Amino acid sequence: ACQHRLWSEIESVVKQQVAWARTGIGECGVGWQLFAEDGEMRMYRREEEVDGMAVDPLKAVHTVPGITGHEVCHYFFGPQYRYDWETTLEQMTVLETISEDTLVFLQTHKRIWPASQRDVLFWSHMRKLPNESDRDGPDLWTVVNNSTHHPDYPPNVGKCVRIYLKVCLLCQTRVDPPKDGAPLTRDNISCKITYCSVVNPGGWAPASVLRAVYKREYPKFLKRFTAYVVNQTKNKPIMF
């Protein structure tokens, strides 16, 4: 897949998105506001408008015990799981399987009154990253979703308004080995998750409606998705 038409774009977008996800909220610049908090989860956004449309970048950090970064990315990337955790999903199609770690999706999301229904077409790439800060620590894992084009599915032809997004899920596993040298269990692991997204709603949607949707849906999504991964993995061997 190294010669695939998207390969160079994927390389540059993955590097850019991972660097952004690694930037602590304190160094992200001014204007970031904490808008949701739940246990270990902290969600920040910055109010930004493009052509009068709200395209507020979002950054969430969360720490979840008992799962690994590989497991989180596996369930986020896999199309076979998406209907289980993505509550606003109405229709999902894999348009292209570029490689085992790179897919092209077309998704329609449930209409959110009073805005018109949205769809989104994006490539999704999953990758293991070397742990630069701790050589013998567990690797990082990431999934990057980035809007793209497909000749058979031009935007805004049917009833849906095409949205444009860039999403990065960056996961860092933490292992606290048991004192007595006992075998590792899920009690000794946790995952630090950073979720970044920028969504351009495409056609016009009232900023107040968009901001209300994001404020309600994003915390729900991250809580539901991470609970899903905990539930799916609890009786399975740890996937590092």
Ligand X SMILES: CCCCCc1ccc(-c2ccc(S(=O)(=O)CCO)cc2)cc1/C=C\c1ccccn1
CA dihedral 58, 131, 100, 184 (to 10 degrees): -100
| Residue spans of alpha helices (H) in the chain | 7-22, 69-77, 82-85, 207-233
Q: How far is the CB of 201 from ligand X (least distance, A)?
A: 5
Nearer Cβ to ligand X, position 45 or 118?
A: 118
Count of CA atoms in the C-beta half-sphere (13 A) of 56: 25
Nearer Cβ to ligand X, position 40 or 217?
A: 217
Q: How far is the CB of 225 from ligand X (least distance, A)?
A: 8
Nearer Cβ to ligand X, position 141 or 214?
A: 214
Closest CB to ligand X: residue number = 115
Residue 138: DSSP 8-state: P
Q: How far is the CB of 29 from ligand X (least distance, A)?
A: 22
Indicate the length of the chain as a whole number: 240
Contact 173, 156 (CB under 8 A): no
Nearer Cβ to ligand X, position 138 or 147?
A: 147
Q: How far is the CB of 134 from ligand X (least distance, A)?
A: 27
- Which residues of the chain form contacts with ligand X (CB under 6 A)? 86, 88, 107, 109, 112, 115, 118, 120, 145, 163, 165, 167, 197, 199, 201, 205, 209-210, 213-214, 217-218, 221
Q: How far is the CB of 25 from ligand X (least distance, A)?
A: 19
User: What are the residues whose beta carbons fall under 8 Å from the beta carbon of 135, sequence distance 6 or more?
Assistant: none
Nearer Cβ to ligand X, position 40 or 86?
A: 86
Residue 164 sits at the vertex; the CA angle it makes with 9 and 145, to the nearest 5 degrees, is 50
Alpha carbon distances (Å) from 21 to 100, 152, 158, 225: 24, 32, 34, 19
Nearer Cβ to ligand X, position 138 or 202?
A: 202
Q: How far is the CB of 205 from ligand X (least distance, A)?
A: 4
Residue 117: DSSP 8-state: P
